[in-house]
Structure 1
């Protein structure tokens, strides 16, 4: 079991055919990651505040349908967060967010688990909830507690959203404070360009790796991903696909990365040493699997990551073609 802390967001996605017509699809990076890992076979609990409105009811239904453990869900009086999705000519998604006064970002300290349950092997954090106040400070305290306890692997996906956070200076400083506490970090090249516009994303990832994590992975969209270890970097390609849209692709990668590490018994506070010394070819297989999960997700509208069976069948079909 892994735990994922963060927000749910209802994505308003263009329905096509009729101008200004949208479909409401439950999403949010942390929720997507929990679902992606669970569908592949690593069960997850979501640490989240669920809004009191009709969208909140749909969010709960989505989580329950995928078997996400509700043990850490909090009923919140505030409404759900929203994102209006736009696509460019290559079906790459961009977002306009509504977070002011919503359930996400309003954590009170007593609403967060202290400590996590004994069956939790990893805590994943990141995205908007880490930077929205007052909840971001409460989440940071939980990260510090769990780091000191040393019982879980700590993983991070910053999922930087300038439209939500505004000034990226405080975001960068918080991430740089959290980074030495984490064991695994996944960031997109877009995240790193936002935070360090004068650096190549892989070089920025290398600086993060040098600050403490055992493993930093930089995803590069259709160009694949690069994992940064102490003495080398491992690059993998992304499968070529016909893209429906890119919504949830990075989350599918992160969920599959967690699943790949879990199936190799590399999650848990006692596995940090093993994670630091993972064989390069073993890590390459993990990355290729994660890249395949992300590519598969791009073939489907919205954040709809594959099950283990669906991904295996898709990969088999591609190998036969």
Structure 2
């Protein structure tokens, strides 16, 4: 096992359309954003993804390399690089349309067994790659902590009940789950967010963190403990990448607390409330920096005053 993170999932190009008519094009994809967040926080991170050998793919590869993210072999085997179009409303919130395919190339695998393996969003549920992702995560549990962010994309995930079944398959192998309240509401047709989070924590994760935008976040632990943290007050440029930045901060915080790796699974389940609260407060600060500026642009350790 190596002291690295493996992130599995989509990397793509985001086309962002703003209310003033301006259009920006930049690299994105939820798992790729998590990998970049970890890289900027000083972690060794590898991304197993599905990029094309084209101009958009070159843009994504350069962006990843600039934040210290390496690509797993086979990650540039796609016929073309996927594109997501994000349309922002007056509050900066985004809705998405996708021109996207997702696969894991035959034989693609991480270079070494990681300390933590993360996936999220489209990669874990969109076939033909989704089943391969779940298989990789299940195989990694013997050495690695498994983290997951469902990060629902209604435009791609189709029927919520079908998406929920696929998502809960991943939750069953996860040690840590981060999910937004909006995602749970969409997946369950408006069922009580807290009740669903508690039921997910009972499926096996050490805890489930529900993010609530400007209202902070709540952690629901498998042993029944719960805690909530507030979000810093900030002027919002847009919300693109906010949840991914939070997720990267969560993995990094658990890493710093010595709670990652399969050998620390029991300790992760017994995490102290004070330790988790400190980690989540920092996650909220990381997300606040991200929403204060355009696009998925997570902060570095230096910007957090930690370098």
1:176 correspondence with 2:168: yes
1:117 correspondence with 2:112: yes
Alignment of 1:60-139 (within 5 A): 60-72=61-73, 74-99=75-100, 102=101, 105-113=102-110, 117-118=112-113, 120-139=114-133
**How far is the alpha carbon of 1:84 from its aligned partner?**
1.4
The alpha-carbon distance between structure 1 residues 177 and 71, as it changes in their structure 2 partners (threshold 3 A), is closer
The alpha-carbon distance between structure 1 residues 231 and 106, as it changes in their structure 2 partners (threshold 3 A), is closer
State the match for 1:22 in structure 2.
Answer: 23
Question: Aligned match of 1:157 in 126, 135, 149?
Answer: 149
**How far is the alpha carbon of 1:22 from its aligned partner?**
1.5
Show CA shifts across 1:161-182 (max 9, x none): 1101212232211222221211
**How far is the alpha carbon of 1:144 from its aligned partner?**
2.1
Show CA shifts across 1:55-111 (max 9, x none): 000000001111102234522241111111111221112211111xx4xx1224422
State the match for 1:318 in structure 2.
Answer: none
Give the unaligned 5+ runs of structure 1.
314-321
State the match for 1:271 in structure 2.
Answer: 264
**How far is the alpha carbon of 1:154 from its aligned partner?**
0.5
Show CA shifts across 1:252-301 (max 9, x none): 00000000000111110001111111110111000000011001100110
State the match for 2:202 in structure 1.
Answer: 210
Contact 1:45–1:72 (Cα < 8 Å) also in 2:
no
Q: Paired residues, what number?
A: 302
How far apart, in 1, do the equivalents of 2:5 and 2:108 lie? 18
1:262 correspondence with 2:255: yes
**How far is the alpha carbon of 1:23 from its aligned partner?**
1.4
State the match for 2:281 in structure 1.
Answer: 288
State the match for 2:218 in structure 1.
Answer: 226
Contact 1:109–1:138 (Cα < 8 Å) also in 2:
no
Question: Aligned match of 1:9 in 12, 25, 30?
Answer: 12
The alpha-carbon distance between structure 1 residues 206 and 306, as it changes in their structure 2 partners (threshold 3 A), is same
* Larger helix fraction of residues: 1
How far apart, in 2, do the equivalents of 1:159 and 1:194 lie? 11
State the match for 2:239 in structure 1.
Answer: 246
- SS of residue paired to 1:186: strand
**How far is the alpha carbon of 1:15 from its aligned partner?**
6.1
Q: Comparing 131-140 with 283-292, which one deviates more in the overlay?
A: 131-140
Give the unaligned 5+ runs of structure 2.
none
1:39 correspondence with 2:40: yes
**How far is the alpha carbon of 1:16 from its aligned partner?**
6.9
1:199 correspondence with 2:196: no
How far apart, in 1, do the equivalents of 2:185 and 2:12 lie? 24
How far apart, in 2, do the equivalents of 1:227 and 1:73 lie? 36
Question: Aligned match of 2:139 in 106, 123, 145?
Answer: 145
Contact 2:119–2:148 (Cα < 8 Å) also in 1:
yes
How far apart, in 2, do the equivalents of 1:109 and 1:203 lie? 39
Contact 1:83–1:95 (Cα < 8 Å) also in 2:
yes
How far apart, in 2, do the equivalents of 1:312 and 1:40 lie? 11
- SS of residue paired to 2:134: helix
